[in-house]
């Protein structure tokens, strides 16, 4: 096209005398992240697969491309994977303080190192039910599942505290250690199981949630199996 520019003195200057014009396609929006231009690629995945597994497969397939990128270019994972890593990092920083607070609270209640050790030893028993549950329903072990594990540990340790307190009461009533443990287990089996059953039923609606599903399955499997194991494991201690 024959374009011209108007000078200050009113003369028209053809654009060809200054430069040349060219029609090009250009991105309407330039996205930046940390002041760096980026190109974001998003997609939906099959419901039968999990984002972490898909992301690992994609990054594995992209390794030849990543190795051939020029200096200054890189490919990174974002979305839920990145947010989960940030959340796990933040949780790891407060985890030691959380464990210390739990130990202090338990010690103030039981006032015995041996009893406190028994209470803490029952916390991991929920993993026996969590792992098969997550594998069966194809749920990721991400940040929400970790939150569920923390809550599950509290549920199981509470059940342990109920049994240990009953054992202490039976011993104070004059029973020997063996019969105190047996009677405490018999006396507290029904309330412990009913409480666990109520918790399991309460978490079932959350299993349909895309976001909270993994946490719900963690709590359901861990509470159901962990409660039964506590009733068998704690008396053996």
Higher pLDDT, 130 or 31: 130
Name 13's bridge partners. Answer: 5
Per-residue pLDDT band for 2 (boundaries 50, 70, 90) equals: low
Alpha carbon separation from 121 to 102, 114, 118, 192 (Å, rounded): 13, 11, 5, 18
CA angle 172, 229, 141 (to 5 degrees): 130
The pLDDT, as a whole number, for residue 216 is 92
Per-residue tokens: 100:
């210390």
Over range 95-103, report the average pLDDT.
Answer: 88
pLDDT tens for residues 27-84? 777 788 888 888 888 887 776 677 777 888 888 898 998 889 888 888 888 777 777 7
Residue with tokens 């599903």: 213
- Within 10 Å of residue 66's Cβ, how many Cβ atoms? 12
Q: Which of 213, 96, 193 is nearest to 143 (CA)?
A: 213
9 — pLDDT class (breaks 50, 70, 90):
confident
In three-state secondary structure terms, 12 is: strand
Confidence of residue 178 (pLDDT cuts 50, 70, 90): confident
pLDDT over 60 (residue 1) = no
pLDDT of residue 72: 85
Q: Which CATH class is domain 80-236?
A: mainly alpha
Q: Is the pTM of this model over 0.85?
A: no
Domain borders along the chain are 4-67, 80-236
Cα separation of 72 and 93, whole Å? 32
Query: Measuring CA to CA, how many Å separate 151 from each of 16, 186, 231?
Result: 73, 26, 19
Tell me what pLDDT residue 91 has: 79
Cα gap 92→59, rounded to integer Å? 25
**175's tokens:** 């029973």
Structure tokens at 137: 């329903």
Nearest one of 145, 163, 154 to 214, comparing CA atoms: 145
Residues 185-212 have pLDDT tens digits of: 888 888 889 988 998 999 999 888 877 8
Q: How sure is the predictor about 133, in pLDDT bands with cuts at 50, 70 and 90? A: very high
pLDDT at 201: 92
Arithmetic mean of pLDDT over the chain: 85
In the chain, pLDDT over 90 holds for what percent of residues? 11
How far is residue 154's CA from residue 123's CA, in Å, rounded to a whole number? 7
Q: What is the pLDDT of residue 218?
A: 93
Res 224: pLDDT: 92
Q: Residue 223 has what pLDDT?
A: 92
How many C-beta atoms surround the C-beta of residue 48 within 10 A? 6
């Amino acid at each position: 096209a024959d374009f011209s520019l108007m000078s200050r003195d009113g003369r028209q200057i053809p654009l060809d005398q200054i430069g040349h014009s060219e029609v090009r396609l250009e991105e309407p929006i330039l996205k930046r992240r940390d002041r760096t231009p980026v190109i974001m690629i998003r997609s939906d995945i099959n419901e039968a697969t999990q984002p972490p597994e898909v992301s690992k497969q994609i990054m594995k397939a992209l390794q030849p491309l990543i190795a051939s990128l020029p200096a200054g270019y890189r490919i990174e994972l974002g979305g839920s994977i990145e947010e989960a890593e940030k959340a796990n990092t933040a949780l790891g920083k407060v985890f030691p303080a959380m464990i210390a607070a739990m130990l202090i609270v338990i010690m103030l209640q039981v006032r015995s190192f041996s009893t406190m050790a028994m209470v803490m030893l029952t916390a991991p028993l929920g993993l026996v039910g969590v792992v098969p549950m997550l594998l069966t329903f194809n749920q990721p072990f991400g940040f929400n599942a970790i939150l569920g594990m923390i809550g599950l540990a509290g549920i199981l340790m509470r059940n342990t505290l109920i049994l240990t307190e009953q054992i202490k009461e039976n011993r104070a009533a004059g029973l020997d250690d063996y019969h105190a443990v047996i009677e405490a287990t018999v006396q507290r089996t029904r309330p412990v199981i009913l409480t666990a059953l109520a918790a399991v039923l309460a978490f079932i609606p959350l299993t349909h949630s895309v976001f909270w599903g993994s946490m719900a399955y963690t709590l359901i499997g861990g509470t159901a199996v962990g409660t039964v194991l506590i009733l068998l494991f704690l008396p053996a201690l």
